[in-house]
Amino acid sequence: MSRRGIVYGIISAAQKADRRSAAARAKAERESIRLLRQQERNLKNLGVALEKEKKMIYLENRLSEVNDLNEELAQKVYLLQNILQKGFENSTPLNFSKMKIKSDIPKYDPGDLLKPIPAPELDSFLPKPPKSVMNIFKSVRSKHEKAVEGAKIKFNKALEEHSDKENKRLAAIEEYKRNHQIKVDQIFNKTNEFNSAIDNFELDVRKGEPKALTHYFTLVLDRGEYPDDFPSDKKIAYIPESKQLVLEMDLPTIDAIPTIKSYKYLKSNDQIQEVPLPIKQIHSLYASIIPNIALRVLSEVFSSDEHKNVDTIVFNGCVNTINKATGKSIRPCLVTIRVNRDLFESLEIKYVEPSVCIKSLNATISRNPSELIPVRPILEFNMVDPRFIEEEDVLSTLDSRPNLMELSPKEFESLITNLFEKMGLETRQTVPSRDGGVDCVAFDPRPIFGGKVVIQAKRYKNTVGVSAVRDLFGTMQNEGASKGILVTTSGYGKASFEFATGKPIELLSGSNLLYLLSEYAKIEAKIIPPETWKDPEFDS
């Protein structure tokens, strides 16, 4: 090959190499661009995925929030619908032993005072003896002997100081012992005083003391669980003559009923929407809780009364609220019931339908609780004011109040007649009672609710028998009366209340009579039977 051919070959090979190198670079650049674009797509996809996951997490959180709200709402409705069932958890008497406290005795710990102070030792004060070589010198021996004497003096002084410190330490221990014992005695005394009060409380409950029983049943009813927004106020009085417990309890207003049926999440506008509970269902749920509460209270009282102190319970359920028309405070009674133990305990209370059961017990319930339509209480709590129930005539000779048991029959008749005239009745006829009381036929002038009324008042020391109630009912039928009122200076037994149930008869005890005299006739009286008093013949 010629030189020119060789040159051309070399140039051609170089050009081919350049072209391959350029192609490789172009390919590398294209691959780099491809990878870069792929990375961008991956990042974009990752961002989309993250955003999607973020939205999903947010949606899950919102749905969880809605679930929590619905669960809370369902729990509240469940409690409202199961008020009676929750009361079965407190169907046992109070445990007085658990009320007592244990003495929290402080530990006896004088600490470092128990460590004796180490006594000084003579050797630690004595100087070192001179070396045997030096001991031959008299001056050295003399100097050492003086040092020993001085050391002994210091040692004796240290002994005195040690003795003084030890005496102070021992005195401090004795002081600590005295103070500790004082604290122990104080704690024991307080503990014994408190536990003794619990023992006395239990004894008074066994004996049926009115104050103890009202406190006992207050504790019984307070231990029960109700929804948080329910009122807890209650008033309790015990009438020993008739073994009757009168209880007035605050009921919740309709505001305690949820107005929301459920919650749901609207994804379109990211809002949690409240689904309202229909007004009809709100009113229905409110009406249902009233018999539940009443039956629960009756159940808790009777089941916790292990000594059978209570034969009869009068329950009034009232609402403290504001009259929307006048803006004034009102307290309408929405349910009232009187029931005796035998009748209530004959029920399988766990399986009853509350609204049906309470009507079978002759309760009176508001026909429209949501509108606060009141009912007339079987017995006003004010009529069993503890001032009249727990009569204590400590200074009877200085008590100027008239004693109803010492009035002449004519005076007693005038007193009772005057009382009911003050209460708005028109006395038509008064006839002597065969038992020294008052038999009065009166007229209630009120339209619709009024009519002829037979009133009988009996001065008794002991419980009035059921025969007196039967006699009153017979007189009512003979007179064509629409109502009968029996008043006594004592009380009534279970049989009397059973007979009067469902009949237009009111039984007023001695405490009720004292209240009515004070409230309407402005007469403060007392009831103290003389020792020679004898009741007429009556049955139990």
Which pLDDT value is given to residue 87? 81
pLDDT of residue 88: 81
Q: Per-residue pLDDT tens for 435-493?
A: 555 578 888 887 766 788 889 888 888 888 899 999 999 888 888 888 899 999 888 88
Domain boundaries, the chain: 3-81, 99-207, 209-384, 391-520
What are the pLDDT digits (tens) for 211-251?
999 999 999 999 888 888 899 899 999 988 889 999 999 99
Confidence of residue 537 (pLDDT cuts 50, 70, 90): low
* Helical H segments across 82-137, by residue range: 83-87, 96-99
- In 271-386, DSSP assigns E strands to 271-276, 312-318, 321-322, 329-330, 333-340, 364-365
Q: Summarize pLDDT for 16-63 with one digit per residue, the tens.
A: 666 777 777 777 778 788 888 888 777 777 777 777 888 888 888 888
Q: Which residues contact 40 (CB under 8 A, 6 or more apart)?
A: none
pLDDT in tens, 490-533: 888 888 988 998 889 999 988 888 888 888 888 888 888 888 88
Reading the block at residue 212, the tokens are: 């103890």
Contact criterion met (CB below 8 Å) for 492 and 507: yes
> What burial class does residue 480 get, using C-beta atoms within 10 Å of its C-beta: 0-12 exposed, 13-18 middle, 19+ buried?
exposed
Structure tokens at 281: 């269902």
Q: Return the number of other C-beta atoms located less than 10 Å from residue 120's C-beta.
A: 17
pTM above threshold 0.75 = no
CA 210 from centre of chain: 21
Which architecture, in CATH terms, is 391-520? 3-Layer(aba) Sandwich (3.40)
Structure-token pair, residue 319: 């609402």
